[in-house]
Amino acid sequence: MKTAIILISEAGLSIAQSLLNELPDSEIFTLRHEEGCTHIESAGKFTAENFNRYDAFVFIGAMGICVRTIAPCVKNKYTDPAVVCVDSTGKFAISVLSGHIGGANELTHQVANILGAEPVVTTQSDCTGLWGLDTLPQRFGWFPVINAEPSTLLLAELAKTPEEKKRVCMNEHISLFVSGKPTALLLTVRNEGTDWMEAHLPPHVEVFYRVQDIKPSRFKLILCVSPQVPNFPEMPMICYVPCVVHLGIGLARLAGPVRKVEKEIMNTLKEYGIMPQSIASISTIKAKSDEPVVKALQKKFPVYFYTAEELTEIEVPHPSKTVMKHMGTPSVSEAAALLSANNSRLLVPKKKGENYTVAAALDIRTVRQGHIEIVGAGPGDPDLVSVRGRQMLERADLILYAGSLVPRELTLCAKAGATVLSSASMDLEEQFEVMKKFYDKGKFIVRLHTGDPCIYGAIQEQMNYFDQHGMSYHITPGISSFQAAAAALKSQFTIPEKVQSIILTRGEGRTPMPEREKLHLMARSQSTMCIFLSASIAKQVQEELLQEYPETTPVAVCYHLTWKDEQIFRGELKDLARIVKENNLTLTTMIVVGEAIGNREGLSRLYAHEFKHLYRK
């Protein structure tokens, strides 16, 4: 935000400077000449002349002066800039104007965090932790379609701009929502915004995934996120339309009139409740790139082109011999839509017009279906799971966790009704069976692995299975035990001018090592080496390392890192096998080797004089 920091009380100069350092695109204006500040003659005059040239104003001084200064300028909550007032001691940051829509509430919290102040926000939805229904479109890139009472619609007609009209229509819905009226939330797609809504669900909101499951008589308000606007004519409703639909079109040569074809294509979508704002792309065959209709659509939407060979690869429900004869592919509109969406199912089947065909598919990334989230649990301490990882656990319908390696405490945040199972006694086939059972019901599954699942996480076979069955999955990374080792050892594993590489590896036990990755070869670099899964072959590991490392090289044997029974044993490389044997260490043990352990020599060049420009504004 372009921010004007207006210093009313000169006692707050240090506060203004702190904000200047942390708020991008900000400038300090002061009534006295101060170094690094812009001098102004009058706060009132400056504010009046620049009120709509800034996104935000931060006044530092008394609230009364702030209010009197902005009062002549205030016109419309939809266009006025955000205004925040900070007292001269920096104790309070107060949202004054355009708190919700203009962003003053968010700025208030940001300013309070910078200063260590108390944020003061009086907007009801913010105070109660409710969603800002009028800010969701901007936050997630959605287009709101509003169903309101006739009286509200009449009032909206008096608005000067389409944006104001939408906001007037929303007032009724916002009032119902913040007063806690029973609200149905229909989610037909899945994306960042819907995940956030489900994770922050108010108690008076009930979630549905199919329109036919909603009984309107039970609710006073309906919210939905869908490219297809449902029909609830008697109910206040906001449908947030995401940009997730991919259109495929086929055209006769010089199809036209252009406007007529455009209108008929959009009317076809409306028959399915699809708004033009939901269109993510339009695609067709490359041979039609110069068609007038295509040129017209390019001015409004992203348009992509595919070769006949690319389209032929796509299996479609309605192949055409005629299209094959003329274009060299059995389908243009259906194949193009499916190819762009990376989907195998159509949202809108092929529709034929007088001189065109159109089909539509939903972006596969937003299809609401079963989903598997592979989550890194971290090294053991439940507090070390990532924020996203915990959110996934809280959402899950099934949590399948590696019981021998992951503490059950990590699963205690599961929602009511969730199934929590340990995979310790299951083979891979049994794990797949239970996950697919939930997946086929459209459920959300968390496969919880220790550390970071991509490092010795045994997820390769699982992902292969998911790929074979066309299952949706994603990986949430976790803190690895090698990072936990560095923290426990209070060591920086990369020391300037001494060691700049970290090797994550394992000894050769039952799992063979590639010849080029034998430990003694890896040891030649003298890097910090973190050796996983090798305590049971410690003697062999020691022998290999001694071929390259001096016998006095520091080692640390770390057992159950971050668990309650964590143990750290330090020594030298010549003592490694003895340390492991004497302490009966086998499983869940990390071996660290290298002179970076406990090293306090040297100075990071980042803090040397010639690099100060990197951390000073």
pLDDT of 49 over the 80 cut: yes
DSSP annotation of 414 reads: P
CA distance 226 to 148: 18
Residue 156's pLDDT is: 46
**What is the number of residues in the chain?**
617
Q: What angle do the packed helices 460-468 and 428-439 form, to 10 degrees?
A: 40
High-pLDDT (> 90) share of the chain, %: 70
- Please give the C-alpha separations between residue 71 and each of 3, 41, 83, 100, in angstroms, as whole numbers: 18, 19, 11, 18
Q: What is the layout of strands, in order, in the sheet containing 554-559?
A: 502-506, 528-532, 589-593, 554-559, 567-572
Query: Who's near 494: CB < 8 A, 6+ residues apart?
Result: 500, 501, 502, 528, 596
Candidate from 46-55, 166-175, 445-454, 500-509 with smallest mean pLDDT: 166-175
Residue 417's pLDDT is: 85
228-264 pLDDT, tens digit per residue, is 999 898 889 999 999 999 999 999 888 878 999 999 9
525-559 pLDDT, tens digit per residue, is 999 999 999 999 999 999 999 999 999 999 999 99
Domains of the chain by start residue, with CATH = 1-126 (3.40.50.11220), 133-239 (no CATH), 243-364 (3.30.420.180), 369-478 (3.40.1010.10), 480-591 (3.30.950.10)
What is the rounded average pLDDT of the residues 371-396?
A: 93
Residues 264-293 as b or e (16 or more Cβ within 10 Å = b): ebeebbeeebbbbebbbbbbbbebbeebeb
Q: Which helix (H) or strand (E) holds 175?
A: helix 162-178
Residue 158's pLDDT is: 46
High-pLDDT (> 70) share of the chain, %: 93
Global pTM reads 0.66
326-338 pLDDT, tens digit per residue, is 999 999 999 999 9
Residue 124's pLDDT is: 67
CA 279, distance to chain mean position in Å, is 22
Residue 611's pLDDT is: 53
Residue 601's pLDDT is: 75
Sort strands 567-572 and 554-559 into parallel, antiparallel or unpaired. Answer: antiparallel
State the pLDDT confidence band at 413, using cuts at 50, 70 and 90. very high
Residue 485's pLDDT is: 96
Estimate the share of the chain in helix, then strand, then coil, as percent rounded to the nearest 5: 35, 25, 40
Residue 512's pLDDT is: 84
Residue 37's pLDDT is: 93
Residue 128's pLDDT is: 66
CA distance 563 to 556: 17
Residue 510's pLDDT is: 80
Residue 159's pLDDT is: 47
